[in-house]
């Protein structure tokens, strides 16, 4: 038993002895208390309004509110540009790290520095983000309009096909360059569209011949499926590692390659789609606050009303937790260096 020496302030001693217990209790409550004290939070969306990422962002912003202490409201901040890199860079370098800001960005943006190396316009470590969750384990497709000079991958090997992209470093630009290298196609990438919605409009106007949309769900998918069904265009290749029932009879990238190294490259690039609609915050969000955000995301993703609304609007939900999303990103960052070096070379945005 601790003795009290003469001259010791007994009330002060009692307070000091109680501090560890008070601190641990406050820490346990601090995540919930923090959000209960907030009126608004910010949801950054890396695409323009009306696109797929915007739809998922607004959907989860509304339902996550239900499951956050105090039910603070998310204010959506659209920050399109550079295939999601602009928003990702903001979240990494400039956004507050207190848990008041999270975002949904193009799935390829977090791994741009990994794949492009020194040629990347930004440098951030995707494993350092505060991963909240993933709304959809995704895949995509490449589609061309009826005005395209090629209506198949085989034909695209013989004639130039112009592809509209939402940024020089996003998947919508990286995938056609990969196919040029591995499949011998002649895709010409026109980047700079603020989002895939604008790229689709450009295709419908005849400014470009096609798009490579790396997400199944939302208005981009609707446009491709409608073109394919109405024969005003055609889906020419699945952007997936295994065939999807929605695109029966459409070839896969693996159908065109035989070399193991080429297959490894395609697997690495397309595996990023597994984290198809990623939600994360800046590095350094306190653990107890991140735990609250993750729990709210998981509960929102399981909410029957959200699932029903997602099915009705074609923002399908096939979720992944924050921990699972981080594990996928960590696996991608461990890709063998020779494979990464070749990807960096072939996907160099300066080509």
The dihedral sign for the CA sequence 327, 329, 334, 335: positive
Which one has a higher pLDDT value, 103 or 4? 103
Whether residue 95 is contained in a domain is answered as: yes
DSSP 193: -
Give how far the C-alpha of residue 94 lies from the chain's centroid of Cα atoms, to the nearest Å: 19
Cα–Cα distance measured from residue 239 to residue 217, given in angstroms and rounded to the nearest whole number: 13
114 and 54 in a common domain = yes
pLDDT at 153 over 60: yes
Q: What is the three-class DSSP state of 41?
A: strand
β-pair partners for 320: 134
The pLDDT > 90 percentage for the chain reads 57
The dihedral sign for the CA sequence 74, 75, 80, 82: negative
Structure tokens at 7: 């001259």
Structure confidence at residue 208 (pLDDT): 96
pLDDT at 220 over 80: no
Lowest mean pLDDT among 39-43, 210-214, 235-239: 210-214
Write the CB contacts of 94 (distance below 8 Å, at least 6 apart in sequence).
none
Of 272, 291, 312, which marks where a domain is finished?
A: 272
Cα–Cα distance measured from residue 172 to residue 84, given in angstroms and rounded to the nearest whole number: 11
CATH code for position 175: 3.40.190.10
pLDDT at 26 over 60: no
Whether residue 12 is contained in a domain is answered as: no
pLDDT at 204 over 50: yes
What is the mean pLDDT of the segment spanning 178-196?
A: 91
Cα–Cα distance measured from residue 197 to residue 78, given in angstroms and rounded to the nearest whole number: 14
260 and 150 in a common domain = yes
Q: Which of 215, 213, 212, 108 is nearest to 161 (CA)?
A: 212
Structure confidence at residue 152 (pLDDT): 97
187 and 252 in a common domain = yes
Whether residue 325 is contained in a domain is answered as: yes
Q: How far is the CA of 73 from the CAs of 39, 62, 79, 340, 346, in angstroms?
A: 6, 8, 19, 41, 43
Of 272, 291, 325, which marks where a domain is finished?
A: 272
Structure confidence at residue 71 (pLDDT): 98
Q: How far is the CA of 283 from the CAs of 121, 127, 154, 235, in angstroms?
A: 19, 9, 44, 38
Whether residue 131 is contained in a domain is answered as: yes
Structure tokens at 98: 């207190």
CATH code for position 293: 3.40.190.150
pLDDT at 193 over 70: yes
Other Cβ atoms closer than 10 A to 32: 17
CB 77 within 8 A of CB 42: yes
pLDDT at 131 over 90: yes
pLDDT at 28 over 70: no
pLDDT bucket at 269, cuts 50 / 70 / 90: confident
Q: Which of 293, 254, 247, 258 is nearest to 270 (CA)?
A: 254
Structure tokens at 113: 């520095």
CB 320 within 8 A of CB 278: no
pLDDT at 349 over 70: no
305 and 233 in a common domain = no
Helices (H), the chain: 10-36, 52-64, 85-93, 112-116, 153-156, 171-183, 196-205, 219-230, 260-271, 287-301, 304-313, 322-333, 337-346
Q: Which residue range(s) make up the domain with 341?
A: 34-137+275-346
Structure confidence at residue 270 (pLDDT): 87
Whether residue 233 is contained in a domain is answered as: yes
What is the mean pLDDT of the segment spanning 3-14?
A: 42
Cα–Cα distance measured from residue 299 to residue 296, given in angstroms and rounded to the nearest whole number: 5
211 and 127 in a common domain = no
Token pair 């002649």 in the structure block, residue: 186
Mean pLDDT of the residues in the chain: 86
Cα–Cα distance measured from residue 127 to residue 285, given in angstroms and rounded to the nearest whole number: 13
pLDDT at 9 over 70: no
Write the CB contacts of 309 (distance below 8 Å, at least 6 apart in sequence).
59, 315
Whether residue 88 is contained in a domain is answered as: yes
- Domain count for the chain: 2
196 and 112 in a common domain = no
What is the mean pLDDT of the segment spanning 115-138?
A: 86
Pairing of strands 161-164, 187-190: parallel
pLDDT at 127 over 50: yes
The arrangement of strands across the sheet holding 210-213 comes to 187-190, 161-164, 210-213, 140-145, 233-239
The pLDDT tens digits for 72-91 are 999 999 999 887 889 999 99
What is the mean pLDDT of the segment spanning 191-208?
A: 88
Of 234, 249, 272, which marks where a domain is finished?
A: 272
């Amino acid at each position: 038993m601790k003795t009290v020496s003469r001259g010791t302030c007994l009330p002060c001693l009692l307070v000091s002895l109680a501090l560890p217990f008070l601190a641990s209790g406050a820490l346990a409550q601090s995540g919930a208390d923090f959000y209960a004290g907030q009126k608004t939070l910010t949801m950054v969306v890396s695409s323009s309004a009306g696109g797929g990422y915007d739809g998922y962002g607004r959907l989860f912003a509304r339902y996550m509110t239900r499951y956050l202490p105090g039910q603070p409201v998310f204010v959506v901040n659209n920050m399109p540009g550079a295939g999601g890199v602009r928003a990702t860079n903001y979240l990494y370098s400039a956004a507050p790290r207190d848990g008041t800001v999270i975002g949904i960005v193009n799935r390829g943006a977090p791994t741009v520095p990994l794949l492009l190396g020194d040629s990347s316009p930004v440098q951030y470590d995707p494993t350092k983000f505060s991963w909240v969750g993933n709304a959809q384990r995704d895949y995509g497709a490449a589609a061309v309009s009826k005005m395209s000079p090629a209506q198949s991958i085989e034909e695209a090997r013989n004639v130039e096909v112009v592809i509209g992209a939402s940024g020089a470093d996003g998947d919508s630009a990286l995938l056609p360059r990969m196919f040029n290298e591995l499949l011998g196609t002649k895709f010409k990438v026109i980047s700079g569209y603020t989002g895939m919605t604008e790229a689709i409009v450009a295709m419908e106007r005849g400014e470009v011949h096609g798009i490579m949309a790396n997400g199944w769900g939302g208005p981009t998918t609707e446009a491709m499926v409608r073109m394919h069904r109405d024969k005003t265009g055609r889906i020419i290749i699945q952007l997936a590692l295994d065939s999807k029932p929605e695109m029966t009879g459409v070839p896969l990238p693996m159908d065109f390659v035989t070399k193991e190294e080429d297959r490894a490259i395609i697997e690495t690039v397309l595996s990023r789609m597994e984290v198809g609609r990623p939600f994360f915050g800046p590095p350094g969000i306190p653990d107890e606050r991140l735990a609250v955000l993750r729990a709210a995301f998981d509960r929102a993703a399981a909410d029957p009303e959200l699932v029903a609304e997602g099915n009705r609007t074609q923002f399908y939900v096939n979720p992944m937790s924050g921990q699972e999303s981080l594990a996928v990103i960590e696996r991608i960052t461990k890709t063998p260096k020779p494979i990464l070096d070749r990807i960096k070379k072939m996907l160099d945005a300066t080509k």
